[in-house]
Structure 1
Amino acid sequence: MLRKEKIYQIIDDHSKQFTLEDLKQKDVGITSYQIADQLHIARNNASTDLNELWEEGKIIKITGKKKFAFFSQKIFSELTGICLQKKTVCPTLSKLMSDHSIIETTQDPFSNLIGADSSLKNSIISAKASILYPGGTMHTLLLGDSGVGKSLFAKTMYQFGLNEHVFQEDSKFVVFNCADYANNSELLLSQLFGS
């Protein structure tokens, strides 16, 4: 495992021990000094990797004290429901939450799906994770037999992304039926990628 991966793992493990209430009330970040001590490396080496992780959108930089502290952006998004941009800097996590006004009462569009609390639960968790992935959404491929609801699930993912402000308000949900081009793969490719 690379040193940068070890540092990210330490931040991730550190961040997992806190709740949403902790973020509102405590200083919860971990400093480069603490990370360097845990890995028995020089602090400047830890800082170099921390800056790379911050630029990649994997961690949040907290500037509130004399020393910078860091927190996992993925864990922050899971706890608060806020999707952040890369290179997020804040004085405290509670200030970051209040700046993003997380108290929105928009209903989770996935709750309207039959099986949201049972058979679709794992699929919904994966879909939300791909949409809220730090640094940008992940590409998603939905597989299943005809008529099982892939298009409905994709539309629900799109609505969730709009609610979470991951997608721009004027972005469109486009349905493209590849089966219409089953006999002409070259035409399909030109429709998708241009000719």
Structure 2
Amino acid sequence: MELLQDETANKDWQNNGVSAESLCQHFSVRRNTISAYLNELCKGGQAIKINSRPVLFWDRKQLEERYEIKLTDHEYASLKDLTAQLENPKKISPFDVVIGSQGSLYTPIERLKAAAGYPGTGLPVLITGSTGTGKSFLAKVFYQYCVDKGFLAEGSNFVHLNCASMPIIRNYLPAIYLAIVREHLLELVKIVKDYLMRQMVGCCFWMKSIA
């Protein structure tokens, strides 16, 4: 894997693709063993494969970081196809699917992006709106944006907590809003904290409908 990364990090990476044959000679290992290993790296999203003669491989992360894009495939018909995507990527943001992303919701979405990229762990976000206006949908899109940009790790959870359906929260909401029963609030925080720790949260969306 290190050899693959080193060759991809080379400035002239197009002429430094790694083949199964070159690795066989380098490590003195059978070709079918090396080929199986390289193909596993591709399937696992760690390597890029070009179906040329010979078949060539590059480190995926190195290419994505160099060109600041996210490749859509792990296997390409030719080096030309890979280079074309690297140099002319289709820059599609998860927010592009949101109606109004280039209109009425442009400013709110830009604020969401700014919150996600805030130094440290980002900023908490409050999404408000009437029932049925798409708050939950926007929260999920925001989560996907954070994953795509690397603010959250791949596989991070999106935890949707519907306060209205959780008795422990519903029962204590009046106390929370009025700040009367402090011990109840602390108990609630502990319960939710324990739950979130078990979920290994990446992004948590709290939903509360107020009549």
Q: Please tell me whether residue 69 in structure 1 is matched to residue 56 in structure 2.
A: yes
Q: Indicate the residue corresponding to 1:36 in structure 2.
A: 24
How many residue pairs get aligned? The number is: 138
What letter is aligned with 2:89? I
Is 1:80–1:97's contact at 8 Å kept on the other side of the alignment? no
TM score, norm. by length of structure 1: 0.50
Q: Indicate the residue corresponding to 1:80 in structure 2.
A: 67
Taking a change above 3 Å as real, the CA distance of residues 162 and 52 of structure 1, as seen in their structure-2 partners, is: closer
Taking a change above 3 Å as real, the CA distance of residues 93 and 150 of structure 1, as seen in their structure-2 partners, is: farther
Q: Secondary structure at the match of 1:183?
A: helix
Q: Indicate the residue corresponding to 2:187 in structure 1.
A: 183
Q: Please tell me whether residue 151 in structure 1 is matched to residue 124 in structure 2.
A: yes
What letter is aligned with 2:62? I
Taking a change above 3 Å as real, the CA distance of residues 112 and 187 of structure 1, as seen in their structure-2 partners, is: closer
Structure 1 distance, partners of 2:71, 2:186, is 40
Taking a change above 3 Å as real, the CA distance of residues 182 and 40 of structure 1, as seen in their structure-2 partners, is: farther
What letter is aligned with 2:59? S
Q: Secondary structure at the match of 2:187?
A: coil
Is 2:19–2:54's contact at 8 Å kept on the other side of the alignment? yes
Q: Please tell me whether residue 51 in structure 1 is matched to residue 56 in structure 2.
A: no
Over aligned residues, Cα RMSD in angstroms? 4.6
Could you report, residue by residue, the CA deviation over 1:158-177 in whole angstroms, capped at 9, with x for unpaired residues? 6565679x9xxxxx99899x
Choose from 78, 94, 100 the match for 1:92. 78
Q: Which of structures 1 and 2 has the larger relative contact order (alpha carbons within 8 angstroms, sep 6+)?
A: 1
Q: Indicate the residue corresponding to 1:130 in structure 2.
A: none
Moved over 6 A (4+): 172-176
Q: Indicate the residue corresponding to 1:128 in structure 2.
A: none
Is 1:29–1:62's contact at 8 Å kept on the other side of the alignment? no
Q: Indicate the residue corresponding to 2:138 in structure 1.
A: none
Could you report, residue by residue, the CA deviation over 1:55-86 in whole angstroms, capped at 9, with x for unpaired residues? 1111001112x221100000110112221356
Q: Indicate the residue corresponding to 1:136 in structure 2.
A: none
TM score, norm. by length of structure 2: 0.47
Q: Which has the higher strand share?
A: 2
Structure 1 distance, partners of 2:147, 2:83, is 19
Following superposition, the deviation at residue 48 of structure 1 comes to: 1.5
Q: Please tell me whether Structure 1 or Structure 2 has the larger radius of gyration of its CA atoms.
A: 2
Unaligned runs of at least 5 residues, structure 2: 94-109, 126-141, 153-157, 163-175, 177-184, 200-211
